[in-house]
Amino acid sequence: MSEQMDTAPSRETTEGTVYTVSGGDWDEVLDEAAGDERIIMNLGPQHPSTHGVLRLVLELEGETVTHARSVIGYLHTGIEKNVEYRNWVQGVTFVTRMDYLAPLHNEAAYCMAVEKLLGVTVPERAQVIRVLLMELNRISSHLVALATGGMELGALTGMTSGFREREEVLHLLEFLTGLRMNHAFIRPGGVAQDLPDGSVEKIRDFIKLMNKRLPDYDKLLTGQPIWKNRLAGIGYLPVDACLALGITGPILRSAGLPWDLRKIEPYCGYETYDFDVPTTNTADGFGRYLLRVEEMHQSLRIIKQAADRLAKPGPVMVSDAKIAWPAQLTIGSDGMGNSLEHVRKIMGQSMESLIHHFKLVTEGFSVPAGQVYVPIESPRGELGYHIVSDGGTRPMRVHVREPSFVNLQSMPAMCEGGMVADVIAAVASIDPVMGGCDR
């Protein structure tokens, strides 16, 4: 930077010296291409055919991509660092906003890491609710992948159908948690509150509806020759390339390896559920499409089993009053916050209980010193949380192994040597979410 500043033009302002430094990477690419037959094309960062704010710099010879690279960082949310300046419970409200298509997976992985440091065991009913919410979230995420992929390739009916079904998922999640997304419903020690009355009936109605509608995608897209020709053989990435790049999720399973952490390293009691891990051996965009459709069917199987288990009552938060938050929450007459009766009860019990309630809300609880890494299977692959505690009321370090960030490395391998039109299909099959990539 100092060398650039030596040559960069400057001017004096009331705030001091201001240097004008131009974007060197773009200029260098243009200089390299000068006098050549190549064309440098910027795809993004506002292009409608990219998932979020992603910029692709493509080098073309005719319509063939000879060199491709992705440029990320346009969202710059700084969520990892923000979490380090909040207490352990407040961190949930940040991580849920990273991969905004899989907020409940982020909440679950973060809370599981905190619970591992605390050494607590989450009640069985809370585990069932977590599994239920994550599988609903997996369906909604795959529907967005299918809908946006269809939109980018011109299959607009696939887009409208995908978002129609996603609305059904979001309506159900809103009924169960109170919010359509960014729920902050999964908390360290369990979940915020038990599911409302009538939840099981609504879940069963949803399963019936989705079992009726999912086969329509096979009629609309799977057997459609244009759709198949547009995806078959596009974005090819064999299993050895996936392993070399650390690629997980549907991309890896489309190459034939049945790697799913719900089966390989079970968590939240997944080992007690009956479901299959679908794979294909095509290693291309069409295989990833087929996989996501089949994974939605498998998620419905898990949701049905979870709904059956909700008949058994039980606590949804650990009993330790020094961890459980919200603490004995009751809803007021306005539908929000603690009721006046509950506040009077807290204030009338003893000064100590009032002080404890106040400190739990303002400072949070302390977590023993140590570090953990907890991975789960998100809709895009391995989502892992590496959390370090120094024994205080907030994390010392939070680092996320985000599948969108890792999987995006496969873009050049999928696209180079192919046609520029196929870049869109390849990126759509990766299904990156830039909120997680630019965390």
The DSSP symbol for 96 reads: T
Residues 15 and 150 placed together within one structural domain of the fold: no
Sequence-distant (6+) residues with CB within 8 A of 147 are 158, 159, 160, 161, 162, 163, 166
- Name which of 260, 269, 294, 278 is nearest 131 in CA terms: 269
Instruction: Note whether 123 and 317 are within 8 A (CB).
Output: yes
Q: Is residue 135 part of a domain?
A: yes
CA 427 to chain centre: 17
Q: Does residue 232 contact residue 286 with C-beta atoms inside 8 Å?
A: yes
Number of folded domains that form the chain: 2
The pLDDT score that the predictor gives to residue 1 is 44
Considering the domain architecture, whether residues 42 and 149 belong to the same structural domain is answered as: no
Q: Are residues 179 and 123 in the same domain?
A: yes
In this prediction, residue 5 carries a pLDDT of 43
Residue 263 and residue 198 in one domain: yes
Question: Residue 386 domain-assigned?
Answer: no
- Which regions in the chain score pLDDT beneath 50? 1-6
Q: Is residue 300 part of a domain?
A: yes
* CA gap 45, 43 in Å, rounded: 7
In 125-280, the DSSP E strands lie at: 186-187, 190-191
**Residue 106, exposed/middle/buried by CB under 10 A (0-12, 13-18, 19+)?**
buried
Residues 297 and 206 occupy one common structural domain: yes
Asked whether residue 155 falls in the same domain as residue 51, the answer is no
Query: Between the CA atoms of 242, 154, 207 and 294, what dihedral angle is there, to the nearest 10 degrees?
Result: -30
Asked if residue 233 and residue 149 are part of one domain, the reply reads: yes
In a domain, 334, yes or no: no
Same domain, 150 and 275: yes
| pLDDT tens track for 309-356 | 998 888 888 888 778 776 555 555 555 556 667 667 666 666 776 777
Residue 367 lies in a domain: no
DSSP 217: H
The predicted structure's pLDDT at residue 339: 65
Given this model, what pLDDT does residue 104 score? 94
Q: Measure the CA–CA gap between 120 and 314, rounded to whole angstroms.
A: 17
Residue 351 lies in a domain: no
Beta bridge partners of 386: 373, 399
Q: Based on C-alpha coordinates, what's the Rg of the chain?
A: 24
pLDDT in tens, 419-428: 888 888 888 8
Q: For residues 282 and 141, state if they share a domain.
A: yes
Q: Which tokens sit at 225?
A: 């020759």
Q: Is the dihedral of CA 92, 95, 97, 101 positive or negative?
A: negative
Range of the structural domain that residue 57 is part of = 2-71
How confident is the model at residue 107, as a pLDDT? 93
Please tell me the predicted confidence (pLDDT) of residue 24: 56
> Could you tell me the pTM of the whole model?
0.85
H-helix or E-strand containing 140?
helix 124-152
- What CATH number has the domain bearing residue 283? 1.10.645.10
Alpha helices, H only, 310-367: 340-349, 351-362
- Together in a domain, 232 and 140: yes
Do the domain assignments include residue 379?
no
187 with 282, same domain: the answer is yes
Q: Do 285 and 425 share a domain, yes or no?
A: yes
Task: Give 317's DSSP letter.
Answer: B
CB-based contact 290:222 (threshold 8 Å)? yes
Residue 206 lies in a domain: yes
